[in-house]
Structures are given as C-alpha cells and as structure tokens.
Structure 1
Amino acid sequence: MCPHIERSDSRVGALSVRRRTTGTIAVVSALGMTAVLGGCGGSGSSDVTLRLVAADYGDSSANGSQKYWDTLAEEYESKHPGVKVEVSVYSWNDVDRKVKEMVDAGHAPDMAQIGAYADYAAAGKLYPASELLSIRTQADVLSQLSDAGEWKHTQYGIPFAASTRVLFYNKTLFAKAGITPPTTWDQLAADAKALEGRGVKYPYALPLGPEEAQAETMQWLLSGGSGYTDDVGTYTLDSAQNVETFTWLKDELVGKGLTGPVAPGKLNRADAFAAFADGQVGMLNGHPTLIQQAGKKGVKFGMVPMPGPTGKARASMGVADWMMGFRQNGHAEQIGDFLDFVYARKNVLDFSRRYGLLPVTSSASNAMAASDKPADKALRPFLEQLATSELYPVGKTSWASVSAAVKQNIGQAVAANGSPSGVLSRLQSTATAADSSDVG
C-alpha cells in the first residue's frame, strides 16, 4: 500500500486538500481513501533530513521525551524511506534558548516544539499552519487552542500539549476539619479558616513567587471574572474586577494568615506542590502532574473546579505548548506530512497518556473521555475544563515581558503593606508600554 494512503470507511464523499508551498494535493475519494496525487513519493521522493528541537516532558531518563520522539521518528521513517527525522530534546530550562540561538545563528531547525511562537511569527520565520497541516488535521485540533496559536489572525503556532487547572484539596485534612470542597470564595475562606484551626501548615497555598506566579495570577483573575486582557486582546490588568480579586486575596486569605508561613510572593509553585504531596496543604490550584506527585506520597485528594465569588469560576486557566515549522530550509511538504503523522489520534493519545497531559485534538480528547482506563479517568476533571479554558495571551509578542513583570511583582499586591491597585496599575503601565511596540 502507498504510504500516504489510509482507509476511512465512515468518511464517504469527503474532500481534503493538503495545502503545501510545493503544491502537492491529497484527496479523499468517495470511497474514503486518501491518496497523494502525483504518486506515492510525496515527501519520500527525495532524500530529506528534517530536524526537530523538542522539550523534555519526562521527570527521569527512563521516561524522557527523547525516547518518545526516537520511537515516533523510527516508525515514520519506516514508511517514508526518503525522509530522515533527527530530534534533539532539551529540558524546559534550555529548549527555548537553544532554538533562539539556532535561529539567531541562521541555522533554524525545520520544526520546534517549545513554549512560544509569536516572536518567530512576527519576524516572518514560520510557515502558517495552513501551509503545513492537511485540512483533516487542522479540523481535528481543538479550536480554542488553535485560536490561541494565531498572530495577526493567522495561525502559526500549532498546539502540541495542553493542561488546565483545578482546585486540589486534601481529603484527609478536610475530613478532620469537617468541611466540604468550596464552591464560592466565601466557602474557600471558611474552609481555609477551619483548616488553620486544625493546625494545617498551608490552609490555602498561594504560590505567587517568581517561578510561575503568572499562572496562579491568571487563575484568580479568571475566577474573579476578568483576566489579563479583554475580548479584543487589550491588556486590562488594572480592571476594577482584577483589583477586587487581589484585594479579596489580600484581606480574606493572606491578611488572615490562611496562606501559610511563607509569604505568597516568595512561595514557588514547585514548593507548593511538594508541600501538598507531603500532606501540609489543604487546598491549591494544580495541574495534572500533581496527580502523580501526590499519589506517590499516598495523599488522598480530590479535585473540583476553581470557585468564583458566587459560584463556579467563569473559566479555568489553560496552558498549551507549541509546535511550529520554520521556513528557512524550505521543507514545507515534508514538515507537514510528518506533522500529520505526529497529530494522528494514536500518537496524540500515546503522548498525552505518557506524560499526564491533555490531548490537543478532538479525536484523541473524545477517546480519552470515553476511556475506562484509570489514568484517563484521573484526567477527566481537567479535560472537562479544557473546552471553556482561557490561555495566556501568547499571540502577543509583548506577553513574554508582561509575564516576567507579573512574576517579579505580583506578590507585592498581597503583602502586608502592599496595594493591589497600585501594583496592578504599575503592571498595566508595563503591559501598555510593551504592547505599543508589539507588531502583533
């Protein structure tokens, strides 16, 4: 069988056009068979080496991402003898810098799977997703994630992995305090007070330290009904709702000693997660990796949606990492064909299950939602949040500097002598200044 052919008995009469700079077209016939016009050769008609730089999602050498990519590349190469895929995997501490150094030196990889795409899109260095992915693959990617991959209304960033945040709570500590998971801010504060009364070290862990303060901040801003930006993408850090949110945090949680012995501005996310896994935290916002971290320590925990002032929060915070194709080497056709393989349901599910992350395609998400596997069931609370989640404003080239400013300063908003309105106003000034030079 031609390597580009796949059968689909249920898709009769569909038509799919693969857009490539080389003009190759793929068609799904009335019999549901996909074939590349012009012969089976397609991307395998000449010797091509694709170079991919990717981030490491593993927590040890045993489950590092290099093994995942090597296996995937080997499988792809076995069906495409004219294409070789070389993958270099770096830690999250290094991968974005490595790609930047390669691009700055004039040696861009063909593909990069990293944390941000907007700067490269603005510099004209990336292929639009429409020039890489088949229409079938494009349609399968979750729309709210694809939308976040747009710069100037064109998608350049292809979501690769996703997660959301939910409120974790320690079931043992809650039972001892005789309380139930909160559904409103007032209930959260009351629960925290009850936990504090039982000697819990961190009734509610509020990590606003420089490691990942932008995440905890965004979850609370969404919980309060606002966010970093408005509906048209203008920064609104100092909105009345955001000031009210941080004033409530300062007065009702931090000021009443309900966030633990470490000042929120000095508490990092990793330390908060470790404390939860050690049974020292009553509640905190967490993402899927905390499931395994707490489970290994035997912590009995539950997960509920983040509360809002009077009920469930308007939205949960979503996070996505990005795949992108660079123009420099001119391998649009081969890049696109490989990415269609990467985003096949089987491969998306395999990656998501391996690293406890959420699938970025509808087909894989539906399969996970319907699965009875324990690991898939554990991810359902996060999966249920994904459809209504909101992501960082990653399509703005100014976001990197705004995020850095939030990390360094937001903890001051809830400090004893801090001013929520003052800190948010200063952050808004920083964002406005950064946005004025944002070509997006």
Structure 2
Amino acid sequence: MQRRYLGLTAAVAALTTAISVSGCGSVGGAGDVTLRLVAADYNLDGGDGTKKYWQDLAEKFEEKNPGIKVDVEIQSWNDVDRKVGEMVKAGKAPDLAQIGAYADYASDNKLYSAAEMLSIPTQANFLDSLAEDGKVHRVQYGMPFVGSTRQLFYNSTLFEKAGITEAPTTWKELAADAKKLKEDGVATPFALPLGPEEAQAETLNWMLAGGSGYVDEIGTYTLNSSDNIDAFEFLKNSLVTPGLTGPVAPGKLNRKAAFEAFAKGQVGMLNGHPSLMQQAEKNGVKYEMAPLPTPDGKKRPSMGVADWMMGFKQNGHRKEMGKFLDFVYSDANVIAFADRFDLLPVTLTASQKMASDSKHQKVRKFLQALPSSVSYPVSKTSWAKVSESIKQQIGTAVEPSNTPAGVLGVLSREAAALDSATQ
C-alpha cells in the first residue's frame, strides 16, 4: 500500500528506550568470512564516488573486525536489480544487496529478517514509515538505505531569458512555459525521462500530481485509473507531441542523461531529486525548485523513495552481516553517504542531525516534503516485476502510434495478474 512518511519526534523517544533496553545489541561474533555486497551506483557524472565510499567504509570495518572481509561490487541502476536477480536464480546470491526492491525475495524465503541481523538500536532507528514499507506479512526484511523526495527543478537563467517570472503551478502553465522556452531556442524545454533507468519514478511523479498513484488505499493496483490516464494524455498531447520534451524520445531518455543535460544548462525544467543540486552547481548552472505542478494548482503529495538493503540467507553469514550493517547504519556513515550524494538519511538520529545543521540547508525542502510524500508499493511481492514492466513499457504511452489508455490498460492487467500470482 501507499505509505506516508511520518515525523521524527515520537520515534526518537522510542529509539531512546530501545537503546537503553538493548545494551550492546543482539548480534555478535565473527567468522573468517568474506561478505559479498552488490550495491547501486549513485554517481550522476560517471565518477567513482560510490565505489570509493564503500571501499573506504569496508576498510574501516575490516580494521575493527578482523576475520571479516567485505567485497563490494558496484552496478549501475540500469542493471543492478537484474544482476542480483540473475545471481539469485543461478544459486549465487550475494550476502547483501543494496537495490530497488526486496519483497519478492522475502516472499521466496531467501532473506534474513532485519531482526535476525541487526542490533535492536539499529533496527529501532529507522524512520517509522520506512520500516513499515520494509515489511512483508508484518516482518521487516527490507532495510531502507537512503531516501529522496522530488521537486520541480527549473533553470532560472533560461526562465529569465524567455520572460518567465515564476515557477508554473498548473499543468497549463507548465506547457505554456515550455513553449516559451522552445521559442527562445531551448533544445529541451522539459526533460521527460521515461527510459528504462528510472521510468517508474517519473511515472509516479505525474500520477501523484494528477491525484492518483500506483495503488489505491487498500493496495489494489490502479495504473489505468482515469486520473492516471489524464496525466499521460497531458504529457503526450501538451508536451511530447508539440516537441517540448527535446530531441530524444521520452521512452529512450534515462534519468542520468536528463540530469546531465540539465547540469549543462540545456534543459529548462525537469523533476529532480536532491543530488541534482550538486551536479548543477558544479557547472555553475543557476536553478530554483518548486513543487511539481498539478492540473488545478492545488498542492498534492510528492513522491518519496527509499532504496533498499537486504541480507540473503544462502551463505549463512547472518552474524557477520549484522555486524557490518550495524556499522553501515551508524550516524556518521549514514550522513556521510547522504551528504556525498545530496540525498536524505533514513534513520531518526541522522535525520535530526541533518535537519538541524546549517550545512545541509539546501536539502531542507526535500526533508520538509517527507511527511506527506508517497512511496512505491514496495511491500507488495509483485512490485519488482510490475516496476520492471513499467520501466520497459511506459515510454510507449506517449508515442504517436499508441494511446495512454491502451498502454496503461495493458500494464494494469499485467500488474493485477502478477499480484494475484504472488498472493
């Protein structure tokens, strides 16, 4: 089901109690083992920051825990979920995977629960709603790793040149502003990345803005709701067909390429997460942020996303994995990763520290959006396959030869069938 992010205050009190009760935690001991971790690449510019973070962290952990080695493999977001799936299918599951979905593995009894690995203070420190999103049949298997929300980014220099004085608040205004940008020579007035890298995120942005989402209040897939069809009719008829989404077809445009183009000053507007700020600032691109416009200008929840850590049972390294994860989720390491990539922490204490630190003022808009944001239906065991179908097919909904209703109808029927098969 869709879940809302909750505030921090009450949960901090619960955390304090948990720490006082737990003492040193519930996991310990180490064997002469090597833990294999497959993790996603968060670099937007082709650098090696993700690899360096994990290598440094692994070295520090190994110094404190003789006998446990950590072997890290970094994969792009285009490939990481598929690669892990192939490993698991081949009987060569990694010990730990930091990817986009966990529930199907939990349903197949391939994962340790969070309680089987983590110390009580570590498990109690996750943001409440994210911990809930990590549960299948009321047991937490998915451990949130990092979070983000979305804002509309717009190039303030290009806006000024085109005579646009403020951010659009309605879809009609957004289309009108995109037209002005095109008339002023902007190659990509609005970047619409519906390519396979992260199409499920861009899709949810528009569905939420339109008043719907992937599922209803009881968790039933609603991909072809009238609101969702209207959202994609707007994208096709008001942005794509008039040529306002640039030279690359939305179904071929990936998020990374869209972000790179924005950071080079070539894009007027797009939906972005916190890490785009750093990328744009490196190139001296001036930008502003605003909530994603809606059909009527009324504010609606934005998308909130958590990426997931999970521990596989296959190699039996439960205690060693727990020791490593307790280290991964220490405040210093959580904040270091979030700070490096301009993302949001997923633990209570790290979130509080970031919110109160003037150094992180730029991400406060995203932190403020957390309480009302809506995430993917990640606790549904069908979500991984549904998400993959969306990544591969949703871009065709705005192509000239297709209709949004037709494509969303196909996706909705596939989702319902997958959901039924995994009950």
- Normalization by structure 2: what TM-score? 0.86
Aligned equivalent of 1:165: 150
Task: Select 1:399's aligned residue among 383, 398, 412.
Answer: 383
Q: Does 1:137 align with 2:122?
A: yes
Letter in 1 for 2:326: D
Identity of aligned residues (%): 56
Deviation at 1:238, TM superposition (A): 0.8
1:71-220 equivalences under 5 Å are 71-81=56-66, 83-92=67-76, 93-179=78-164, 180-220=166-206
Distance 2:44 2:404 in 1: 37
Deviation at 1:209, TM superposition (A): 2.9
Change over 3 Å in CA distance of 1:48–1:61 after alignment to 2? farther
Letter in 2 for 1:183: T
Change over 3 Å in CA distance of 1:88–1:411 after alignment to 2? closer
**Secondary structure of 2:185's aligned partner:** coil
Aligned equivalent of 1:34: 23
Aligned length: 409
- CA contact 1:305–1:312 (8 Å) conserved in 2: no
Aligned equivalent of 1:352: 338
Q: Larger helix proportion, structure 1 or 2?
A: 2
Task: Select 1:240's aligned residue among 211, 226, 230.
Answer: 226
Change over 3 Å in CA distance of 1:53–1:312 after alignment to 2? farther
Change over 3 Å in CA distance of 1:78–1:212 after alignment to 2? closer
Deviation at 1:166, TM superposition (A): 1.1
- CA contact 1:141–1:360 (8 Å) conserved in 2: yes
Q: Does 1:415 align with 2:399?
A: yes
* 1:41-63 CA distance string (max 9 Å, x none): x623x534251313143468974
Q: Does 1:260 align with 2:276?
A: no
- CA contact 2:38–2:94 (8 Å) conserved in 1: no
Distance 1:264 1:63 in 2: 27
Aligned equivalent of 2:277: 291
Task: Select 1:390's aligned residue among 370, 374, 378.
Answer: 374
Task: Select 1:434's aligned residue among 407, 418, 423.
Answer: 418
- CA contact 1:225–1:313 (8 Å) conserved in 2: no
Q: Does 1:281 align with 2:267?
A: yes
Deviation at 1:348, TM superposition (A): 0.5
- CA contact 2:144–2:346 (8 Å) conserved in 1: yes
Change over 3 Å in CA distance of 1:79–1:382 after alignment to 2? same
Change over 3 Å in CA distance of 1:277–1:79 after alignment to 2? closer
Q: Which runs of 5+ in 2 are unaligned?
A: 1-11
429-438 vs 391-400, which deviates more?
391-400
* 1:150-206 CA distance string (max 9 Å, x none): 223321010112222211100001112222111222222232232233222222222
378-387 vs 168-177, which deviates more?
378-387
Letter in 2 for 1:164: T
* 1:360-411 CA distance string (max 9 Å, x none): 11211121122122xx223222222233222222223322332233233323
Change over 3 Å in CA distance of 1:408–1:103 after alignment to 2? closer
Greater Cα radius of gyration, structure 1 or 2: 1
Change over 3 Å in CA distance of 1:78–1:254 after alignment to 2? closer
- CA contact 1:205–1:259 (8 Å) conserved in 2: yes
**Secondary structure of 1:358's aligned partner:** coil
Change over 3 Å in CA distance of 1:66–1:299 after alignment to 2? closer
Distance 1:105 1:273 in 2: 35
Distance 2:272 2:209 in 1: 14
Distance 2:357 2:365 in 1: 14
Q: Does 1:319 align with 2:300?
A: no
Deviation at 1:72, TM superposition (A): 2.6
* 1:413-432 CA distance string (max 9 Å, x none): 22334322222112111111
Higher RCO, Cα 8 Å, sep 6+: 2
- CA contact 1:413–1:423 (8 Å) conserved in 2: yes
Distance 2:251 2:56 in 1: 42
Distance 2:401 2:420 in 1: 31
- Normalization by structure 1: what TM-score? 0.83
Letter in 2 for 1:260: G
- CA contact 1:50–1:110 (8 Å) conserved in 2: no
Change over 3 Å in CA distance of 1:198–1:396 after alignment to 2? same
- CA contact 2:104–2:384 (8 Å) conserved in 1: no
Letter in 1 for 2:303: M
Task: Select 2:53's aligned residue among 50, 68, 91.
Answer: 68
Deviation at 1:341, TM superposition (A): 2.3
Distance 2:305 2:228 in 1: 20
Distance 1:392 1:12 in 2: 26
Aligned equivalent of 1:23: none
Distance 2:43 2:248 in 1: 29
Q: Which runs of 5+ in 1 are unaligned?
A: 1-9, 17-26
Distance 1:187 1:152 in 2: 44
**Secondary structure of 2:222's aligned partner:** coil
Letter in 2 for 1:141: F
- CA contact 2:45–2:260 (8 Å) conserved in 1: no
Distance 1:210 1:129 in 2: 30
Deviation at 1:140, TM superposition (A): 1.7
Change over 3 Å in CA distance of 1:272–1:342 after alignment to 2? closer
- CA contact 1:304–1:381 (8 Å) conserved in 2: no
Deviation at 1:101, TM superposition (A): 4.6
1:328-343 equivalences under 5 Å are 328-343=314-329
Change over 3 Å in CA distance of 1:199–1:12 after alignment to 2? closer
Deviation at 1:321, TM superposition (A): 1.8
270-279 vs 425-434, which deviates more?
270-279
